[in-house]
């Protein structure tokens, strides 16, 4: 799972972090990343928002917080569920264009999760 670090001095960056521990007694961490290939055409509002990170399809919508620092809302599909990651402990302030991108990303992710 990837998180946006809100303490990156106003810059967005990703930090890799395990999702679930492996079986009891097994060393390391078990993570499963499935490449997801959408069959329908992507929404044009998600161009530049939608990309693959470590084989996982991720939508990262830029936004701001209450004091105008750059942040991002991240959307991805895991285990047939849509996961939305907001800026940690913060509020996401979105313009109407950014809201349209988020809406389109959530719509695409929902369609993928239904498969």
Report d(CA 69, CA 73) in Å as an integer: 13
pTM score: 0.61
The pLDDT value given to residue 43: 76
pLDDT tens-digit series, residues 57-115: 999 999 998 888 999 999 999 999 999 999 887 788 999 999 999 999 999 999 999 98
Rg of the chain's alpha carbons, rounded to an integer? 15
Distance CA 103, CA 115 (A): 19
Tokens encoding 109: 């992710």
Rounded Cα distance, 12 and 3, in Å: 10
């Amino acid at each position: 799972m990837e998180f946006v670090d809100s303490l990156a001095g106003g810059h967005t960056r990703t930090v890799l972090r395990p999702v679930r521990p492996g079986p009891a007694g097994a060393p390391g961490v078990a993570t499963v990343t499935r490449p997801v290939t959408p069959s329908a055409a992507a929404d044009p509002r998600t161009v530049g928002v939608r990309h693959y990170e470590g084989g996982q399809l991720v939508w990262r919508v830029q936004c701001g917080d209450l004091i105008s620092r750059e942040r991002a809302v991240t959307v991805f599909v895991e285990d047939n569920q849509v996961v939305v990651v907001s800026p940690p402990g913060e509020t996401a302030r979105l313009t109407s264009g950014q809201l349209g991108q988020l809406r389109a990303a959530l719509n695409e992710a929902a369609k993928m999760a239904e498969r």
